[in-house]
Amino acid sequence: MIEYEDIAAALQRERGDAVVVTAMTQTKFWKEASDRPELDIPTNNSMGKASSVGFGIALGAPDRKVIVQDGDGSLIMNLGSLITVAGKSPKNFYHVVFDNGVYAITGGQPIANSGAIDWPAIALGSGYKAAYSFEDTEELATELPRIMSEDGPILIRVQVKPVITTNLGVIQTWESNAVMPAQMRSVKAELAAS
């Protein structure tokens, strides 16, 4: 299993000027690794929607890579997004699924049938161009540069060690709903300037 911090570090090395959309637990670890917060969009108050937000950005900015950091539990809540993404097949869309088998941010409840879910097969069956699976940090770090040079949409499933806590420093309040639109305006301004 891979640690969240190691995945964030590997993605940061390959990021370039990509827009990064994060879901739930991934947000905390990405905030610590990111060197371009003006291009980051946390979707903490919309569990399951990171792939949809990233998809919209990928369509709107086809010359900019978009990296979606999704949780397995979040993606289950919006599984149809895989088919929607594949239907338009954005070449700049990279979908990283953090597979920990639990709803970590809500206390670690197990995801039903998690050990049998084959994320790469689901992505390929939905029409993604490619899909990969990693359980080893070194292999992920070695293969990621090549994968990020391929045309998407690509799904990258990473077996991650669960971090079970409801206090990850991720803001999840009604007041924090203003954060996502503000961050989206920041990303829009960055995209317009380039």
Domain residue extents for the chain = 4-193
pLDDT value of position 165: 64
Q: For residue 147, what pLDDT band results from cuts at 50, 70 and 90?
A: very high
- The strand pair at 66-71 and 93-99 is best described as parallel
Higher pLDDT, 106 or 18: 18
Cβ 41 vs Cβ 180: under 8 Å: yes
CB neighbours of residue 150 within 10 Å: 12
Q: Is the pTM of this model over 0.85?
A: yes
Could you tell me which residues come within 8 angstroms of residue 177 by beta carbon, excluding any fewer than 6 positions away?
45
**Could you read off the pLDDT of 14-31 as tens digits, one per residue?**
999 999 998 877 777 778
State the Cα–Cα distance between residues 59 and 63, nearest whole angstrom.
9
Query: Is residue 177 over pLDDT 70?
Result: no
Cβ 74 vs Cβ 24: under 8 Å: yes
pLDDT value of position 179: 66
Residue showing tokens 């539990």: 73
Q: What DSSP line would sit under 17-65, residue for residue?
A: T-EEEE-THHHHHHHHH-S-GGGEEE-TTSTT-HHHHHHHHHHH-TTS-
pLDDT value of position 167: 57
Which numeric CATH code is attached to 4-193? Answer: 3.40.50.970
Q: Which of 155, 49, 148 is nearest to 96 (CA)?
A: 155
Query: Is residue 126 over pLDDT 90?
Result: yes
- pLDDT above 70: percentage of residues in the chain: 91
